[in-house]
A and B are shown apart, each in its own frame.
Chain A
């Protein structure tokens, strides 16, 4: 069956880089996504990567995909206090998104 796993918590100092990791099991996944959820809010799409790509960069965000190992990561450069949130990894082959449990990122001054 499909399964997406993430570490549950990450603490990072302001100004440092954050790296959030995710593994998935569905080899037929075509798109992989990162969403951000701030307290009391819905999900905000941060970025996504197509499965035939290895890397995608978008301003402070870098997504790395290792399709062989089914490993996805999100790097946030120069992490700010506004980056404190829960980050969800999701994979999709057809139809629904399958989400991980989310990684809570806490940015400390």
Chain B
């Protein structure tokens, strides 16, 4: 696609429920990243994928968070048993490659998650 596409754009969920956030990267981009931005906070790295592998998942806050990527394209970030502190904007990004030339990272519009 023309840009990084994320869905849903907005999600309100009840505490304790599971949510899935989807990211469709720019076509041909092999690297995909997930970040979280809480109200008034900076950007917190969660995980990145090179192809379908996740070399760095050090930013996942707890074992309630997981992510997968299939076919080297679409990625899903799953949050189980959501808590109010999970409320944030979840940003997905992609780049052609992980490093070297052509590694410019482009972001989607984000998925706004509110846990009530």
Contact surface of A with B, Cβ cutoff 8 Å: 30-31, 33, 35, 41-45, 48, 88, 92-102
Contact = CB atoms under 8 A, between A and B. Distances in A.
A98 B41 CA distance: 14
Contact of B45 (A42, A93, A98, A100): A98
How many interface residues does chain B have, given as a range? 20 to 34
Q: Is chain B's interface secondary structure helix, strand, loop, or mixed overall?
A: strand
B43 A99 contact: yes
Interface string B63-99: 0000000000000000000000000000101000011
A97 B104 contact: no
A42 B107 contact: yes
Contacts of A95: 31, 48, 50, 55-56, 98-99
Contacts of A33: 105
B107 A94 contact: no
Contacts of A42: 91, 107-110
A77 to B, nearest CB: 23
B106 A88 contact: no
B43 A88 contact: yes
Interface of B: 31, 33, 35, 41-43, 45, 48, 50, 55-56, 59, 91, 93, 98-99, 103-110
B22 to A, nearest CB: 15
B109 A102 contact: no
Contacts, number: 54
A65 to B, nearest CB: 17
A3 to B, nearest CB: 11
Contacts of A44: 107
A24 to B, nearest CB: 14
Given A30-B99, A42-B109, A42-B110, A96 B104 contact: no
B99 to A, nearest CB: 5
Nearest to B109: A42
Contacts of A92: 99, 103, 105
29 contacts: A31-B103, A33-B105, A35-B107, A41-B109, A42-B91, A42-B107, A42-B110, A43-B43, A43-B91, A43-B93, A43-B107, A44-B107, A45-B106, A92-B103, A94-B98, A94-B99, A95-B56, A95-B98, A96-B45, A96-B56, A96-B59, A97-B33, A97-B43, A97-B93, A97-B105, A99-B42, A99-B45, A100-B42, A102-B42
